[in-house]
C-alpha cells in the first residue's frame, strides 16, 4: 500500500513537472522572433552603347510598418550592373525579422561608365534610389529583391549624370 502511494506521488510530481516544462517551452517559442533572409540583387536593362556601368553600393535600408529603418552595409561594393541583362549581380544577403516592410532605399557612392573604350566618372543626381514597394520577409525563407535599373533613361551621356531609378521585383 505504501509503495502505491509513493508511485502515485511520483506520478503526480512527474505530471506537474511535465506541465511546467511544456508551458515554459511553448512560451519561449511563442516569444522567439521569427526570421527570414533578404537577398539584394541589381541588374540593368541592356544599353547597346555601353560596355559597363560600375556602381559602388554602400548600404541598403528597409523601413518597417512602425517607421523604423533597418540598415545593412554593402561594404562599398562595386559591381557592373550592365551585363547584357542576362544576370543580376548579388549585393548581399541579410537575416531580418519576418514581417512586412513598406519602403526600401539602396544607397550608392559612385558611378563609372565604360563606353567607346573610355571610363568616365558620372555625377550622381541622388545618392539613393527609393521605393515604397511592399516587401514581405517570410520566416525561415529567402526573399530575393531585384533592383532593375534602366541605363537608357538613367544616364545622361552628355552631362555625365546618373539619375537612379529602378523597378523593384521580389520573389521567394
Closest CA to 106 of 158, 68, 145, 61: 61
Question: Which residues are CB-neighbours of 7 under 8 A, at least 6 positions away?
Answer: none
Residue 76 is predicted with a pLDDT of 96
Mean pLDDT of 79-108: 88
What pLDDT score does 13 carry?
A: 47
Which of the residue ranges 79-83, 84-88, 112-116, 127-131 would you say has the lowest mean pLDDT? 84-88
- The residue assigned the cell 556602381 is 55
127 three-state secondary structure: coil
Structural domain boundaries of the chain? 1-32, 35-171
Per-position b or e across 137-147, b if 16+ CB within 10 A of its CB: beeeeebbbbb
Highest mean pLDDT among 21-30, 84-93, 130-139: 130-139
Average pLDDT score, the chain: 83
Q: Look at 172 and 84; give whichever has higher pLDDT.
A: 172
Beta bridge partners of 142: 37
Q: pLDDT band for position 45 (50/70/90)?
A: confident
98-150 pLDDT, tens digit each: 999 999 999 999 999 998 889 999 999 999 999 887 889 999 999 999 999 98
In the predicted structure, residue 56 carries a pLDDT above the cut 60: yes
Task: Give the class (CATH, top level) of 35-171.
Answer: mainly beta
Q: What residues contact residue 69 under an 8 Å CB cut-off, 6+ apart? A: 61, 62, 63, 105
Task: Give 115: exposed, middle or buried? Use CB within 10 Å, 0-12, 13-18, 19+.
Answer: middle
Q: Which of 56-60, 108-112, 154-158 shows the lowest mean pLDDT across its residues?
A: 154-158
Amino acid at each position: 500500500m505504501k509503495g502505491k502511494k509513493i508511485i502515485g506521488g511520483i506520478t503526480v510530481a512527474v505530471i506537474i513537472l511535465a506541465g511546467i516544462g511544456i508551458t515554459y517551452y511553448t512560451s519561449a517559442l511563442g516569444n522567439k522572433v521569427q526570421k527570414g533572409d533578404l537577398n539584394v540583387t541589381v541588374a540593368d536593362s541592356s544599353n547597346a552603347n555601353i560596355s559597363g556601368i560600375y556602381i559602388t553600393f554602400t548600404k541598403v535600408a528597409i523601413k518597417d510598418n512602425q517607421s523604423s529603418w533597418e540598415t545593412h552595409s554593402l561594404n562599398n561594393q562595386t559591381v557592373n550592373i550592365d551585363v547584357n541583362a542576362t544576370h543580376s549581380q548579388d549585393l548581399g544577403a541579410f537575416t531580418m525579422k519576418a514581417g512586412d516592410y513598406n519602403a526600401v532605399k539602396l544607397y550608392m557612392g559612385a558611378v563609372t561608365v565604360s563606353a567607346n573604350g573610355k571610363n568616365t566618372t558620372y555625377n550622381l543626381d541622388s545618392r539613393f534610389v527609393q521605393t515604397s514597394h511592399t516587401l514581405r520577409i517570410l520566416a525561415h525563407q529567402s526573399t530575393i529583391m531585384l533592383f532593375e535599373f534602366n541605363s537608357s533613361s538613367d544616364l545622361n551621356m552628355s552631362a555625365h549624370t546618373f539619375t537612379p531609378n529602378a523597378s523593384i521585383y521580389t520573389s521567394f
